[in-house]
Structures are given as C-alpha cells and as structure tokens.
Amino acid sequence: MDVQQDNPFQTPQADLQQASASTLPLYRIAAVGLGTFLGTPLAGAWMLAHNLQLLGKADRVAMVWGVAVCLLALTLALAFVLPEEVPTLPFAIGQLLGMVMLAKHLTEADIQQHAAAGGTFLSNWRAAGIAVLFSIAVMVLLFAVLMILDV
C-alpha cells in the first residue's frame, strides 16, 4: 500500500481551467454608441468599462470614466451658457462620436478576436435598458441640483 496514493487529505491532481475570454459576454461597439446616445456618455462608459474589465485592461477604466464625465460636463455647461436657439443635436452627435471612437481605439481588435473565437455578446436591448436607467439617474440628479440652486 502506497501512502502517497491513498492519502485522503492530498489535493487532487486535476488541472484547473480558467474561464477564457471567449466565454465571457461583451458589449459590441454599437452597444456603447447606443448607450451613449440614449443615456449620456456615462452609460457608454459603463459598457466600455465592462468590456475592459473582462478583456484584462482594467487600468484604462479610470480614463474612460474621466472622458465620459468631461464630455457630459462640457455638454451641460454649454447647455446652460448657449442661447435656446442653438440646436442640441450636434452636442449629442459629438458625445456619440467621442465615445464610439474611444471604444474603437481601446477594444476594437479585442472584440474582433472575441467574435472570431466564437465569443458571445450581450444584447443591444440590454444596453438600451441600461442607458435609460442612466438617463433617468442623470435627470433626477440635475433636477435635484437645480432645486438646490433654485434656478
């Protein structure tokens, strides 16, 4: 009887398998754009941060949030300063293009590899729902700030 083989307290000799990146669902770049359009750059940043976390690029998440907050703050500041006759659509398009270009720059190659490896993607409907929640949260926050300032 071999003591090493019959030891019930010995750890098993099985190989541990890590979850591969192709098994984790990501958001498409279009979902980041949809989230930005419907729910401010903060929603797009949330989806992009999700992708960056799963792709092992967590060091870039803070930069993404910084860009999103700056885009939103710039747009809100311009909305209060510019006259009402100025159309708002160019500002929404600018935010959209900024976040989509950032998403392409940071994750496009990884997302293409993910798709080529048969990886799964999260639904754009989910992205739209998250965007609506972000939009509601921003509206509530703006309403509260305006009530405090009594504008």
Sorted by where each begins, the domain ranges of the chain are 25-149
Q: Give Cβ neighbours of residue 134 (< 8 Å, ≥ 6 apart).
A: 35, 39, 40, 42, 43, 46
pLDDT digits (tens, 9 = 90+) for 31-53: 999 999 999 999 999 999 999 99
For CA atoms 146, 89, 126, 55, give the dihedral sign.
negative
- Per-residue pLDDT, 46: 97
The model's pLDDT over 55-114, given as tens digits with 9 standing for 90+, comes to 999 999 999 999 999 999 999 898 889 898 988 888 889 999 999 999 999 999 999 999
pLDDT at residue number 127: 95
Check residue 92 and give its pLDDT.
Answer: 87
- Residues sharing a CB contact under 8 Å with residue 122, sequence separation 6 or more, in sequence order: 25, 26, 27, 31
Question: What number of other Cβ atoms are within 10 A of residue 36's Cβ?
Answer: 31
Q: Which of 38, 34, 39, 149 is nearest to 103 (CA)?
A: 34
